[in-house]
């Protein structure tokens, strides 16, 4: 591949900070990542930029559908790869669910624009047919997602599947060189969610307030009080008061949070093996 500094210079272009553009200077960190994908199915690439990942996947005979917000690079890639690539000039966050269904998208990869990493993760995991997500993210964010407790996004990720591999990538693999190192995380869906919408509400709510126990959170967090459905839990909250008063959301693992949720809602198991 051509070094991004050369591509940018030849087109008199700059990397846009506002779109989180730090382009891969080599494909070495990608080697082996393709083993997670089914060659029979397309791979959706988020933010292809100058096409380092796109080229790598196409050379491995994958059918790639790329979604790039920057018109300049969407146009560039169309010319570069011609018929071997479908490029869409869109904001990934605005793609409707129908898009994923129509294109039978089950596997996604992207060196993510750091300013919307969490939004992208939430959107991807919310698409029920997507079962593999290979994401390049900032190392610190990756480390938080690997935490067993204390981070609501990590628990959200865990509620849908597991991180099956992570690999560090030095910031020197990008141009312009970002301030921090990066990481590849491979996430696989392996859970079937019975009542995810309420569990998501629960997860978002329990991290409210510093050092608050779950009883305070459940009775005082205005967020819970605003969601009428959670009123159904009131009787169980009272009955579980002693237990809930000893627990803090930020200290609980996914399994522990899941147990509390199931006792609270009195519902059937939240998660079953996929
Ligand atoms: N994949 C390329 C690589 O690894 O060299 C570029 C990665 S760069 C970190 C992020 C890419 O995402 C940029 O090309 C940027 O223009 C694009 N991008 C930023 N926001 C986006 C959005 N909302 N939807 C789609 N692409 C976006």
pLDDT, one tens digit for every residue, the chain (274 residues): 999 999 999 999 999 999 999 999 999 999 999 999 999 999 999 999 999 999 999 999 999 999 999 999 999 999 999 999 999 999 999 999 999 999 999 999 999 999 999 999 999 999 999 999 999 999 999 999 999 998 989 999 999 999 999 999 999 999 999 999 999 999 999 877 677 888 888 888 888 877 899 999 999 888 887 887 888 889 999 999 999 999 999 899 999 998 999 898 876 655 555 4
Q: What separation in Å is there between the alpha carbon of 48 and the centre of ligand 1?
A: 6
Report the nearest atom of ligand 1 relative to the CA of 110. 1
Q: Does 19 contact ligand 1 (Cβ within 6 A)?
A: yes
> Which residue has the least CA distance to atom 10 on ligand 1?
113
The rounded Å distance from CA 91 to ligand 1 centre is: 10
Beta-carbon contacts of residue 165 (< 8 Å; ≥ 6 apart): 184, 185, 186
* H-only helix segments in the chain: 4-10, 52-59, 71-81, 97-102, 117-125, 139-145, 152-160, 196-206, 214-220, 222-226, 234-239, 241-246, 254-265
Cα of 123 from ligand 1 centre, angstroms:
16
Mutate to test the pocket of ligand 1, among 3, 16, 25, 49 (most ligand atoms within 8 A of CB): 49
pLDDT of residue 274: 45
Q: Are 68 and 49 in contact (CB under 8 A)?
A: yes
Helical (H) or strand (E) element with 174: strand 174-175
pTM here?
0.92
C-alpha 270/C-alpha 233 separation (Å) is 16
Q: Which residues, at least 6 apart from 201, have a Cβ–Cβ distance to it below 8 Å?
A: 224, 227, 229, 230
- 164 close to 187: Cβ distance less than 8 angstroms: yes
- Tell whether ligand 1 has an atom less than 6 A from the beta carbon of residue 145: no
CA of 51 to the centre of ligand 1 (A): 10
For residues 167 and 29, the answer to whether their CB atoms sit within 8 Å is yes
Question: Please, what are the domains in the chain?
Answer: 4-189 (3.40.50.150), 196-264 (no CATH)
Residues, the chain: 274
CB 187 within 8 A of CB 135: yes
Between the CA of 43 and the centroid of ligand 1 the distance, in Å, is 16
**Structure tokens belonging to residue 264:** 């609270």
């Amino acid at each position: 591949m051509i070094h991004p500094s050369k591509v940018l210079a030849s087109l008199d272009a700059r990397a846009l900070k506002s779109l989180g553009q730090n382009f891969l200077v080599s494909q070495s960190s990608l080697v082996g990542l393709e083993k997670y994908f089914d060659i029979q199915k397309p791979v959706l690439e988020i933010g292809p930029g100058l096409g380092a990942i796109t080229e790598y996947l196409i050379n491995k005979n994958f059918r790639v559908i790329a979604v790039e917000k920057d018109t300049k690079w969407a146009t560039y890639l169309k010319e570069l790869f011609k018929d071997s690539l479908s490029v869409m000039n869109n904001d990934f966050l605005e793609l409707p669910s129908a898009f994923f269904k129509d294109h039978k998208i089950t596997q996604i990869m992207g060196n993510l624009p750091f300013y919307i990493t969490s939004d992208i993760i939430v959107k991807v995991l919310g698409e029920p047919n997507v079962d593999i997500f290979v994401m390049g993210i900032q190392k610190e964010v990756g480390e938080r997602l690997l935490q067993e407790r204390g981070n609501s996004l990590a628990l959200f990720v865990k509620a849908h599947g597991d991180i099956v591999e992570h690999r560090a990538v030095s910031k020197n693999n990008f141009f312009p060189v970002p301030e921090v190192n990066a990481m590849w995380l491979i996430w696989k869906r392996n859970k079937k969610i019975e009542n995810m919408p309420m569990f998501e509400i629960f997860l978002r709510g329990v991290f409210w307030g510093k050092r608050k126990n779950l009883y305070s959170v459940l009775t005082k967090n205005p967020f819970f009080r605003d969601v009428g459905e959670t009123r159904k839990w009131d009787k169980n909250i009272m009955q579980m008061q002693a237990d809930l008063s000893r627990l803090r959301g930020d200290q609980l693992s996914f399994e522990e949070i899941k147990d509390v949720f199931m006792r609270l809602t009195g519902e059937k198991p939240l998660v079953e093996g996929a």
